[in-house]
Amino acid sequence: MKKTQYKYDVSVLVISYNPDRKKLISTLRSILYQKDVHMQIIVADDGSKNNYFDDIRALFEKHGFSDYVLVANEINLGITKNFYSGLVKAEGEFLKGISPGDYFYNENTLSDIYKYMKKRGLDAAFGNAVYFQMNNKTIRPVHKNIRRPNLNVIYDEKKYRYSVVKSNCWLLKDYTLGAAYFVKRELVLKYCEMILGKVKYMEDVLYRFMLLDDIPIVHYDKSIIMYEFGTGVSTTKESKWKRIMLEEEKVIEKLVIADKRNDKFRKKLKRYYSMNRDNLLTKNISLLLTSPGTQFWKICRILHVRLGKCYTETSYDKQFMSKIMEE
């Protein structure tokens, strides 16, 4: 990345649509309580009945915080366009997205990962997440929950395996949790513009396209996010969203096929997309014919899951969580 002067270390982008007020305010508190990092907060609202911007302004004023931008979209645009409407306001070197109901892990989350990225000269990374559910106003970590991606080891900074990462993501669909990314703003902007107007809801596919272009996204082996399980698009059980995601995956495949670049992996991927994958059997046959070497990593992934080696963390900073959820 070329050298640029940045106004902030990090821009935190909160994307919101008909949020729960208490969750929204607690999420903002988890940002405001971050230490030793120069940051900007952007709240992009996607045409909510009540965006709570007056409450947000009051909260920022109470904390003496003025480095913020509120973006009020008049109509519902969909997640990607809402994300982009906030993204273009970002002036930080790195971008961290977050949704109401999700929280930073502790008060040093942003400063720690920012220092890590700067020390190693990295442009993109993802951290660990603690999945939780609320029960009687109490945080209950989800136990024996399978992390995303399952195979963190292939994203190790010192042993990064480009071809394996691409196969794992694009062919085996072992995706990274979107809420866990921490990436240079220019990169996010470039790849968001690539899918803008094409992918309406699955904005985090932009990170997959980075991997396709051999941009390394390394694993930062620390918890950075408290992720509310079952409320986001990727973990909801609602059939509506399952259907929408399947439709958007077809759009994503068409984007890959339409790309005129034909490096070795893209050729493999395009061939796979052209084959019959109507059921599990035909998918496995197509995968075997297209990329036989991927079977090894598929087996590794299955073993990791069955041996319980890829569960998400369950420990969390109770003092910090109590602080941000105070009335």
Q: What is the CATH number of the domain that holds 214?
A: 3.90.550.10
Q: What is the mean pLDDT of the chain?
A: 94
CA 53 distance to own-chain centroid: 24
Q: Does residue 97 contact residue 83 with C-beta atoms inside 8 Å?
A: yes
Give the domain range for residue 227: 8-235+312-324
Residue 235 has pLDDT above 80, yes or no: no
Amino acid, single-letter form, for residue 74: E
For residues 16 and 53, the answer to whether their CB atoms sit within 8 Å is no
For residues 136-146, average pLDDT: 90
The pTM of the full predicted model, rounded to 2 decimals, is 0.93
Band of residue 240 on the pLDDT scale cut at 50, 70, 90: confident
Tokens, residue 142:
């989800």
Examine residue 35 and state whether it is found in any structural domain, yes or no.
yes
Is a pLDDT exceeding 80 seen at residue 199? yes
Those residues whose C-beta lies under 8 Å from the C-beta of residue 20, and which sit 6 or more positions away, are: 100, 101
Q: Which two tokens stand for residue 68?
A: 């913020």
Residue 163 exposure: Cα atoms within 13 Å on the Cβ side: 7
Note whether 26 and 56 are within 8 A (CB). no
What residues form DSSP beta bridges with 10? 39, 94
Check residue 1 and give its pLDDT: 46
Query: Is 117 among the domain residues?
Result: yes
Tell me, what's the pLDDT at 176? 96
Q: Name the domain count of the chain.
A: 1
Q: Of 76-85, 121-130, 202-211, 288-297, which gets the smallest average pLDDT?
A: 288-297
- Given this model, what pLDDT does residue 3 score? 63
Instruction: Tell me if 187 is assigned to some domain.
Output: yes
Worst-scoring range by mean pLDDT, 167-171, 233-237, 264-268, 281-285?
Answer: 233-237
Please report whether residue 90 resides in a domain: yes
pLDDT at 192 over 70: yes
Better-scored residue on pLDDT, 192 or 1 = 192
Is residue 280 included in any domain, yes or no? no
pLDDT for res 326 = 80
Higher pLDDT, residue 239 or 287: 287
Pair of tokens at residue 284: 């496995």
What are the beta bridge partners of residue 141?
A: 132
Determine what percent of the chain is predicted with pLDDT higher than 70. Answer: 96
- The answer to whether residue 147 sits within a structural domain is yes
Asked if pLDDT for residue 257 goes beyond 80, the answer is: yes
d(CA 217, CA 195): 19
Question: Would 294 be classed as within a structural domain?
Answer: no
Instruction: Decide if 180 is inside a domain.
Output: yes
**Backbone φ, ψ for residue 9 (5° rounding):** -70, -50
Rg (CA), the chain: 20
